[in-house]
Amino acid sequence: RNIIFDDLSFQIYQQQMYLDKLEYENLKRDLRSAVKNGEFKLYYQPKIKINDNQNKIGGVEALIRWEHPTLGLVSPQRFIKIAEESSLIREIGDWVIEEAFKQLSNWQNKYDSDLSISVNLSPLELYDKNKSARIKNLSQKYKIRRELIEFEITENALLDNRSDTIKTLNELKNLDFSIALDDFGSGYSSLSYLSRLPIDTLKIDKSFIAKLADSRNIILIDSIINLSHKMNLKVIAEGVENSEQLEIMKKLNCDEIQGYYFYKALPVDQFEKILEENYNY
Ligand code: C2E
Ligand code: MG
Ligand code: MG
Ligand code: MG
Which residue CA neighbors atom 17 of ligand 1 most closely?
239
Question: Would you say residue 51 has pLDDT above 70?
Answer: yes
Closest by Cα among 162, 227, 157, 209 to 187? 157
Question: How confident is the model at residue 196, as a pLDDT?
Answer: 84
89 alpha carbon – ligand 2 mean position (Å) = 16
User: Residue 227: pLDDT above 90?
Assistant: yes
pLDDT at 223 over 70: yes
Over residues 20-32, mean pLDDT: 88
> 205: left (phi > 0), else alpha (psi -120 to 50), else beta?
beta
User: Quick one: pLDDT at residue 1?
Assistant: 59
Pocket test for ligand 1, best of 31, 42, 45, 63 (most atoms within 8 A of CB): 63
Question: What pLDDT, on the 0 to 100 scale, is given for residue 246?
Answer: 96
The pLDDT of residue 231 is 95
Ligand 2 (single-atom ion) residues, CB below 5 Å:
120, 152, 182
83 phi and psi angles, rounded to 5 deg: -65, -35
Q: Which residues contact 227 (CB under 8 A, 6 or more apart)?
A: 191, 194
pLDDT value at 2 more than 70: no
- Over range 17-45, report the average pLDDT: 90
- How many Å lie between the centroid of ligand 2 and the Cα of residue 182? 6
Q: What is the pLDDT of residue 8?
A: 78
Lowest average pLDDT, out of 46-50, 159-163, 177-181, 247-251, goes to: 159-163
Query: Quick one: pLDDT at residue 190?
Result: 77
Contact 151, 123 (CB under 8 A): no
What is the tens place of the pLDDT at every residue in 80-100? 999 999 889 999 999 999 999
Give the distance (Å) from ligand 3 centre to CA of residue 1. Answer: 45
- As for ligand 1, residues whose beta carbon falls within 6 Å of it are 45, 63-64, 75-77, 80, 96, 120-122, 152, 182-183, 206, 238-241, 258-260, 265
Question: Is pLDDT at 219 greater than 90 in this prediction?
Answer: yes
Higher pLDDT, residue 17 or 77: 77
Check if the beta carbon of residue 183 is closer than 8 Å to that of residue 176.
no
6 Cα: distance to centroid of ligand 2 (angstroms) = 42
For 127-156, what is each residue's pLDDT tens digit?
A: 999 999 999 999 999 999 999 999 999 987
Q: What is the pLDDT of residues 58-82, one digit of tens each?
A: 999 999 999 999 999 999 999 999 9
The Å distance, Cα 11 to ligand 1 centre, comes to 35
Confidence class of residue 11 from pLDDT cuts 50, 70 and 90? confident
Q: Whose CA is nearest to atom 37 of ligand 1?
A: 63
**Measured from the CA of 83, which atom of ligand 1 is nearest?**
44
